[in-house]
A and B are shown apart, each in its own frame.
Chain A
């Protein structure tokens, strides 16, 4: 039985065990495997390309301009000549503005986001959890241009009147609006971290006689602390990279307090401390990195130092978000090996909860005040009543032994209220302000009178075209990349690099995506396409739907990859085993068993990606969107498009004589479109999860 093994014998196996498939089918499988592996690498390629191209356009600045003056310069004055005949491209005021806006947003969003997460994960009755989570996800879907619109129309004027600010476009307005954006991010990721805390830890604590709140505070929250840190970091990344909101609501100037803080302005007779300056800056205009790039890109002559300076800001943004995402990823990895946190985390939770409670009361009062002079007042009372009920909807299994516990739950509930109410108010405000506008004519006609009259038909069509184009490009690539990650790749440095790249791609500021699309698609690829097509007049170097869709596709690629991978991983390994055990190859297994079983999840991801692509403005600013066209064809890949988010931005900032009804109408259609898409995704997911039988 046991004969000596010689390797030579091995080649003598009979033909009956060799591959019996045709050459063609083997070749096809090889090609497919190649395509999938290549797709897996695309995230790395895109991140590298983005950095490379942005850097390439930024680098020439340093050959003509002193690096120290850029990085430490305290003034940004690109249109006037400063010392040495060179304009001042000082990073400091822009960076300071970005940091302060983000800090303000974080200060508001962290208590609300964490309170919301803890409330949903631990306090709300389990049967309300899916609804509350879905509601939070819906908040995350509000397009930034709609948030900016709300900031301009309602929040800014309110703050100006309430606090007597010189202008409504302030750092504070920016912070609050960005907080609305960061809260859902922080809440959903923190909630995931809390839900991942093992049951037995909770039971051990309760078994030792701790109250529910003591358990949450001392055991569960500390165990989830690094996940919460990651959530906060991702929220920070979202806020610092956001363009449209700050462009629309922060005034794009540098307020006097910031100047004094930097020592540019001589101190007044009553010198302010640095702290007072920081505080005072929130009542003034500021100019962030992203807003500077977005607003000045149109005025620069490519090749001039100003152009390179703007790309240098892109590099700075890219590096900042890269570092933030890196930290977040690191923190998230730590969550997986649950270690018990420090006592600091417990105290911090109490602090956040109280803060959340205070903010909850503040927000409610502010909203009631806002409703007084803004459309939307009708619904607010009803909303408050409904949501106040939520505060007292507490898991029935919780028993109160100490009044302090009850106070904490109330605080958390108020935090949840403050997280949900503003966006619901926004929705009510836009609904009431815009629904009269929704006539068939408005939805189908072209804009007229410079955007101050007529309809938004072409913008709706253009946005639909962009959505379709984006998903057409992103879905195949994203699915293949996800297949690579879940089915092909073996753990190792390469996979680590790919995952890192995906995380970073997801965190790249959308304005940087826009710059990338401008340079790589419109200018570079467009140039070559026109050259090969021998176009006498440029076709592909214009703004076109294709370039917009391509830019958006890279933006949504991480969404498609992560949701698809999740869907693939949720397919039980036993299906794969069964298939492979029957002699199926890897690709046959994927195609015939794994993919069909994962379709629901993939579909959800696709819908989320479509929703995201509908609302983004910055990526299409330079690549696809135009203000007006007499070209009444359906959207075509080689034609520029009107798009809802850009049209809203244009009408609000340029066609200012348009009636408020018209502006609200556009916002409502955009918000409605995005909500419809996202609600579809949420409903689909819920249904399919319920229908799943394995």
Chain B
């Protein structure tokens, strides 16, 4: 019995080693079945500055290959639903969705580890250059629009806000609601944390790249912003339109019409107003691909921008392209 126990250890050790070898080598073997790359790429310097190896050639995405989608957290729930629906129609398409942020998605695209980058902002020049250095152009496809709803406490009497006033509120120049026609209450501004694409977008589009007021309450989710605003009489927050409806309907917060400037008609972020460009705080959401989309990637993007994909956009509370 005892000898069998030590035999067990021997077998176990052996099994462990062989399992590990198999773990490492199996995909290597299957990898060999894949078509040999036209231009063999060479590994970059150790742990290089993100410039990772094996990214040469145009990515031939044959049907059945694993399509990896990575990037913006804003687009994450939406693209997950697209992938679900697309996957039902194309059961052979293996697709993976990851969040992390627009920057992470675009980097993954450049490095070749993602086939599609979700981005809630346009690619920066630096990123485009990095792609060129790798020998390809990033191609942009708009997939939906997103609007930002401004919400305040239900008891707040403020009727509307201009972009200028919003900027004043969020940079800290305006500190009491009475300065802009509201009650005599201290303003308590809530916003997303730096990880969020919305944080960056709001800063660029509304704050014109100025700094947020230092005492802004930062939160990791739209829920939390709605929570904060609903609990503070002087609260104000910005929430993606897809999320805002729920909180507004529940009576937790009140949405405020926004105007481009003093004198313009303030409007609410309805689909019409966003599509017609009347609502000031909206942005396009993009998918980036390595060169023109091909194969499954193209099929997927066609699906997303087509009627079925856009139906999902509408259902999820985002704004459709048309």
Residues of chain A touching chain B, judged by Cβ–Cβ distance below 8 Å, are: 53, 56-57, 60, 77-81, 157, 160-161, 166-169, 247-248, 251-256, 259, 264-265, 284-285, 287, 292, 295-304, 307, 447-452, 469, 472-473, 475-476, 519-520, 523-524, 526-543, 546, 591-592, 595-596, 599, 625-631, 636-640, 650, 652-657
Contacts and interface: CB of A to CB of B under 8 A. Distances in A.
A527 B50 contact: no
The residue among A53, A447, A543 with the most chain B CB atoms within 10 A of its own CB is A543
A532 B104 CA distance: 26
B183 to A, nearest CB: 17
Interface residues of B, number: 105
A79 B203 contact: yes
Contacts of B218: 169, 251-253, 285, 287
B116 interface: no
A272 to B, nearest CB: 14
Contacts of B215: 255-256, 259, 265, 284
A637 B28 CA distance: 11
B54 A527 contact: yes
Nearest to A543: B98
Given A80-B203, A536-B60, A626-B97, A655 B77 contact: yes
A472 B13 CA distance: 10
A451 B79 CA distance: 11
Contact of A627 (B13, B80, B111, B193): B80
Contacts of B65: 537
B305 interface: no
Interface in B95-147: 95-104, 106-107, 111-113, 115, 124, 126-127, 130
B272 interface: no
B16 interface: yes
Contact of B9 (A264, A596, A625): A596
Interface string B26-46: 111011101111001111101
29 contacts: A79-B200, A157-B227, A169-B218, A251-B218, A256-B214, A265-B215, A287-B193, A292-B194, A295-B195, A298-B104, A299-B103, A300-B107, A301-B126, A303-B50, A303-B130, A307-B50, A450-B316, A472-B19, A473-B20, A523-B52, A529-B28, A535-B54, A537-B61, A538-B55, A592-B6, A628-B96, A637-B23, A652-B221, A656-B222
A443 B2 CA distance: 40
Contacts of A285: 217-219
A630 B77 contact: no
A167 B228 contact: yes
Contacts of B50: 301-303, 307, 523
A585 B231 CA distance: 73
Contact of A657 (B41, B209, B243): B243
B80 A451 contact: yes
A300 B60 contact: no
Contacts of B81: 449-450
Contact of A534 (B37, B78, B130): B37
B178 interface: no
Contacts of A284: 215, 217
B227 A168 contact: yes
B99 A637 contact: no
Contacts of B16: 472, 475-476
Contact of A303 (B47, B49, B223): B49
Contacts of B24: 546, 637
B214 A265 contact: yes
A630 B91 CA distance: 8
B102 to A, nearest CB: 7
Given A539-B31, A596-B2, 6 more contacts: A253-B217, A298-B101, A301-B107, A541-B52, A628-B84, A657-B77
Contact of B43 (A78, A527, A534): A527
A34 to B, nearest CB: 15
The 3 closest A-B pairs by CB, nearest first: A302-B50, A253-B218, A298-B101
A154 B44 CA distance: 47
B77 to A, nearest CB: 4
A359 to B, nearest CB: 27
Contacts of A300: 103-104, 107
B181 interface: no
A78 B194 CA distance: 9
B94 interface: yes
B231 A160 contact: yes
Nearest to A157: B227
A528 B232 CA distance: 54
Contacts of A448: 84
B31 A533 contact: yes
Contacts of A637: 23-24, 26-27
B87 interface: yes
Interface in B141-196: 188, 190, 193-195
B59 A537 contact: yes
A530 B218 CA distance: 41
A246 to B, nearest CB: 11
Given A252-B195, A630-B84, A169 B200 contact: no
Contacts of B48: 523
A80 B202 CA distance: 12
A530 B34 CA distance: 11
B308 interface: no
Given A527-B53, A654-B221, A629 B97 contact: yes
B81 to A, nearest CB: 5
B5 interface: yes
Contacts of A599: 5, 9
Given A626-B97, A627-B98, A539 B190 contact: no
Contacts of B252: none
A630 B300 CA distance: 13
B87 A630 contact: yes
A79 B193 CA distance: 12
Contacts of A523: 47-48, 50, 52
Given A532-B28, A630-B83, A637-B23, A296 B195 contact: yes
A253 B84 contact: no
